[in-house]
Amino acid sequence: MAQIIGSYFTSHVPSIGAAIARDLQKEAYWSPFFDGLIPVRRWLSEQQPDVAVVFYNDHGLNFFLDTLPTFAVGAAETYANADEGWGLPVQPSFTGHRNLSWHIIENLVADEFDITMCQQMNVDHAVVVPFQLAYPQASVWPLRIVPIAINTVQHPLPSARRCLALGRAVGKALRSWPGSERIVVMGTGGLSHQLEGERAGHINNAYDLFCLNNIKDNPGALTHHSALDLVELAGTQGVEILNWIAARGALGDAPLRQQSRNYHIPISNTAAATLVLEPIGN
């Protein structure tokens, strides 16, 4: 049977990709963040996952404000990266795991999740940057992916409770997959940040630490805030914590250990973090 080896959570702000492109990882402004990826890479090297199920939010590459699904699951053979206008180098395409995608989709619909099925899909920096951080020397991505996009842009947003339930349903589907794949679940985005308006530059250290301190053993604590509460607490882009909550849900209720954790303020007016959780006994 397939095995969920754990979850890798990370920020995905485009300026990280720009820093990589400019080889700025060792500069004082960036090194506290990039140094936190060293144990993540070591863990991935030891665990050797075959597939990544990636909870992320699309930034207009696939969906715009006129047509934006709450939840969308990729079911493509290939996922291309494209120029988003940030000046980031376009990265290699990802290979999908189409059969696993359809297994997840079928199980989610059976569990009464109304999702959008995407047989053609591009991936933006919310998927690419976490892979650049995890596999900095890769010319070809070593994992196949199943991307799952969550709306964190156009209100009404899904609740944190619903995103946790989505993740749990995905985890149940993964545990019923008859293949032998080793699966890492990824949650990308955040932490607290806001890019526009009167609160541009908003960072909430207390809320970020609340999330980091509770997500392992008490993820339900992160569901007590409404979507609008999350905007108030974390900023309009900080609602990307929904991706982390969904990814945590996929790990289920088994006891977990924290393999790695890093938190740094700020990079590009963002509270940046990385976290690795794995089931005890792996």
- Among the listed residues 193, 202, 225, 264, the single catalytic one is 193
- Among the listed residues 12, 59, 103, 125, the single catalytic one is 125
74 has which bridge partners?
118
What is the model's pLDDT at position 186? 98
What is the model's pLDDT at position 88? 85
What is the model's pLDDT at position 154? 92
Whether 193 is a known active-site residue: answer yes
Mean pLDDT for back-to-back runs of 10 residues, the chain (282 residues): 94 92 94 96 96 95 90 98 85 97 98 96 95 94 97 95 98 96 96 88 94 97 95 93 98 95 92 96 72
What is the model's pLDDT at position 227? 92
Domains of the chain: 3-226+239-273 (3.40.830.10)
What is the model's pLDDT at position 268? 85
> Which residue reads 């590459």 in tokens?
61
What is the model's pLDDT at position 174? 98
Whether 264 is a known active-site residue: answer no
What is the model's pLDDT at position 60? 85
Supply the pTM of this predicted model. Answer: 0.96
